């Protein structure tokens, strides 16, 4: 199982991404007709509480990297894929911060679908003084 303790030993965003990457496929069925279980879990008070704790722990940064602050919607990602049986059995890892990390939407999609090209748009733009002034 992937863990937060192992993840934070990896210093770079790229290394953390490789650690988490699932190599899934777009349209691959995850919950199908049992999607209501997934939605019930994500609307529970227990999930909302642990989600807040993880966001605070990671300072609202993509994969917990300090210089990659997320502006907009933050996704709290389960580092290990969830199955219907995990929800049915109320597995402890579902609400354990050791198995959760904050991500940006594009990063989350890239983790699931293995498409690193999505990450190009998440790189911060380094700006310098007068870089938008055409006569300097």
Tokens 């870089």 belong to: 131
CA gap 67, 51 in Å, rounded: 21
* Domain assignment present for 10: yes
Please check whether residue 133 lies inside any domain of the structure.
Answer: no
136 domain-assigned = no
Report d(CA 8, CA 15) in Å as an integer.
10
Residue 128, domain member (yes or no): no
Residue 126 scores a pLDDT above 80: no
Residue 129 maps to a domain: no
| Rounded Cα–Cα distance for residues 72 and 50 (Å) | 19
Distance CA 71, CA 54 (A): 16
pLDDT in tens, 105-115: 999 989 988 76
Rounded mean pLDDT of 51-68? 96
* Kind plus residue range of the DSSP H or E element containing 37: helix 35-42
Q: What's the domain count of the chain? A: 1
Range of the domain at 55: 4-122
* 134: in domain: no
Answer yes or no: are the C-beta atoms of 126 and 120 closer than 8 Å: no
127 inside domain: no
> Quick one: pLDDT at residue 30?
57
Residue 130 lies in a domain: no
């Amino acid at each position: 199982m992937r863990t937060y303790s192992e993840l934070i030993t990896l210093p770079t965003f790229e290394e953390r991404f490789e650690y988490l990457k699932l190599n899934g496929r777009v349209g691959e069925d995850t919950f199908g007709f049992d999607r209501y279980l997934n939605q019930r879990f994500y609307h529970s008070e227990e999930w909302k509480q642990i989600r807040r704790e993880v966001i605070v722990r990671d300072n609202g940064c993509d994969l917990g990297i300090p210089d990659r602050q997320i502006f907009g919607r933050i996704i709290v990602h389960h580092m290990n894929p969830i199955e219907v049986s995990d929800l049915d059995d109320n597995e402890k890892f579902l609400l354990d911060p050791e198995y959760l990390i904050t991500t940006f939407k594009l990063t989350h999609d890239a983790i699931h679908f293995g498409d690193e090209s999505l990450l190009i748009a998440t790189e911060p733009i380094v700006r310098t003084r007068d870089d938008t002034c055409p006569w300097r």
